[in-house]
Structure 1
Amino acid sequence: MEGQHRDLVVVVYNPAKVDEGSLRAAVGAQAPLTARVEWVATTPEDSGYAQAAAAAQAGAVLVIAAGGDGTVRLVASALAGSGVALGIVPAGTGNLLARNLALDLGLEASVARAFHGRDRRIDVCEARLHRADRSTDVMRFVVMAGVGADAEMIEHTDEDLKERIGPAAYVPGVVRALRGGNNVRATFSFDGERVAKKRLHTLIIGNCGDVYSHVPLLPNARPDDGKLDLVTIAPRGPLGWARVAALVAGNTVLRLVGRGSHLFTPRPPNAMTFESGERVTIEFGSPEIFEVDGDTIGRVRAAEIDILAGALVVRAD
């Protein structure tokens, strides 16, 4: 070993999501003898970003994020551009990034992958969010963000219920979100060129395509293609919703039977449209609840989102 700092591995874990004893046992079984492993728990005040940034500054070669989507997003945000590898030990309800990268979700397999997997570079999205109170935040995400039904569903999902019954807890939020009409007013442009001004039900911007396992909401999205993908959902009545459902269901079936290269993105009138580019700017008619990687972050009146191509190193299978 040439130096302790070269082999520093930091485990950033959410104690509310993971079984610390099982995690420590798995890490102990897989960590090379040359590794010096340090453990840092997240807190309500520091949910992963500060811990991962400190690890990178200290010379870590690997940071393992053990927790839900929020922990993974914040650790990934801190490591973007650093060259430090991210190991993912998914322990949440959605596990969006792990699922989109087709990673094994099991504890032992995830820890083994973190130490012995291959490195893969993926893109990171960076959003400048203009809030309702006129303040501005810069926030990164790795899977998808949006407004409308997606954000409303998350906003109205009971966290305690989610802990107890898992994804089924989203059902009441989904029902409530789908009751609304095309109430979001948005103007958006890609790469400096205006694309549309319209009323819509839901708008999603993504680096990855699957909203859940094998359910591609953004069929053309790839985590390493250097592009942002966007979908607007604006159905009119039952027929419009039927078109949306048929498109998503059809692509889901193609994905499940192993024909992912045949996914399609037709444009049913007034129901679902797709765009892609390297930078998207969105202005809302009134402040809207915004979500990033499964967490709502309050209301925003505008957003500018850029793609940071190949900014994050992830340990993959």
Structure 2
Amino acid sequence: MEYVCSVVRGGKQQAAETAGDQPRVAVIFNPSKQGVENLRKAITEVAALQGFAEPLWIETTVDDPGKGMAHEARESKVDLVIAAGGDGTVRSVAAGLRDSGLPMGIVPIGTGNLFARNVDIPVNDMRDAVVLAFSGLDRAVDVVVADITRPNGDTETHTSLVMAGIGIDATMISSTNPDLKKRVGWLAYVDAGLRALPASKPYRAYYRTDAGRLHRSKVSTILVANLGYLPGNIELIPDAQLDDGRLDMAVLQPRNFLEWLFIWRKVTWENPVLRKSAIGRQIMDLTGGSRRREIVYSRGRSVDIEIGEGAEEFEIDGDEFGTVVSARFTVDPAALIIRVPSLD
């Protein structure tokens, strides 16, 4: 231990003499999150141990949750960017780093932390996440690009790392109690879902993947995903991979409450358990699981969705984004470099 400490001290002394040669890190953080002081302490300590110069700290704002700050970090010629916050901060920073080749570490201090959970970044140990941000492996992942049209005809472009949805999932998110979300985290979405489901009504949608056949159906929601795992051992879209250059679409079209129960069984039992073994798949076949149509999956490089009448609620990575009348999703393959514990 004494030898290790002396090496670290010697390394720090030598680095101080040639500060211009030290790698630099920019930390983009949401100042409204709890634990910011602990974050500053952990990053400052680990940066010094890793031979980095004093971190550049950049706060997000209500008007800009991270994209402009990522551009500022790029202009500052840093070697690493750390996004510290929830899924909104991570997504916005990723949008600013897209196609830059600059690695992004993630320190999750939000409530859902969906992306961090999907790539095995520690969500309950800040220091472990900080160490991983500095010393993890670089992995190139896809970014979902959403070009949406508002009811007034305005168009916008947004990015997604986990999944975007049009329909009841977005309605559920928009009705989530923010105070409850702060207290219990992602469980607040369960409360919102129980309140939104009884009042939900399907809508007419036209959709297609790539240049394939145009489908028309009454749906409760359409999800376009880069990743498919949700907290609570819910495997919503089992084949979604964040580095395969493809989008995964799930169309939920239950006709009654019983069929909602079938969907629940599929995402909590069939997808995460039964489909992973030969015996489980046989059980699915015998019980009709592979033939049911309450939830339908498809894959492609692009997804086009148009609302048949009116507008529907829209969400990205667990954040509400108002209403839309149409959306086109495309994949930007290997557009973002993130720090992860393994490449598996």
Query: TM tier, shorter chain?
Result: over 0.9
Trace 1:185-200 onto structure 2 (pairs within 5 A). 185-200=204-219
How far has the Cα of 1:150 moved from its partner?
A: 0.9
Specify the code of the residue in structure 2 equivalent to 1:128. Answer: D
106-115 or 195-204: which moved more? 195-204
Q: Does the 8 Å CA contact 1:10/1:64 hold for their aligned counterparts? A: yes
Gaps of 5+ in 1: none
- Of the three residues 323, 336, 339, the one matched with 1:299 is 323
**Residue 44 (structure 1) aligns with:** 62
- Select the structure of larger CA radius of gyration: 2
- Of the three residues 6, 19, 22, the one matched with 2:35 is 19
SS at match of 2:204: strand
**Residue 257 (structure 2) aligns with:** 238
Gaps of 5+ in 2: 1-14
SS at match of 1:307: strand
- 1: distance between equivalents of 2:157 and 2:327? 10
- 2: distance between equivalents of 1:291 and 1:49? 18
How far has the Cα of 1:27 moved from its partner?
A: 0.8
Trace 1:51-66 onto structure 2 (pairs within 5 A). 51-66=69-84
How far has the Cα of 1:224 moved from its partner?
A: 0.7
Distance 1:17 1:251, change over 3 A: farther
Q: Aligned-residue CA RMSD in angstroms?
A: 2.4
What's the TM-score once normalised by structure 1's chain length?
0.92
**Residue 297 (structure 2) aligns with:** 274
138-147 or 212-221: which moved more? 212-221
How far has the Cα of 1:5 moved from its partner?
A: 8.4
Distance 1:138 1:6, change over 3 A: farther
Q: Deviations over 1:160-197 (max 9, x none)?
A: 22112322322331012211455221111111223411
SS at match of 2:51: coil
Q: Does the 8 Å CA contact 1:124/1:207 hold for their aligned counterparts? A: yes
Task: Determine whether 1:283 maps to 2:283.
Answer: no
- Of the three residues 219, 231, 235, the one matched with 1:216 is 235
**Residue 168 (structure 2) aligns with:** 149
- 1: distance between equivalents of 2:229 and 2:184? 21
How far has the Cα of 1:212 moved from its partner?
A: 2.2
Specify the code of the residue in structure 2 equivalent to 1:126. Answer: V
SS at match of 1:35: coil
161-170 or 199-208: which moved more? 161-170
Task: Determine whether 1:162 maps to 2:185.
Answer: no
Matched length: 315
- 2: distance between equivalents of 1:282 and 1:26? 44
Distance 1:54 1:102, change over 3 A: same
**Residue 87 (structure 1) aligns with:** 105
**Greater strand content:** 1
What's the TM-score once normalised by structure 2's chain length?
0.85
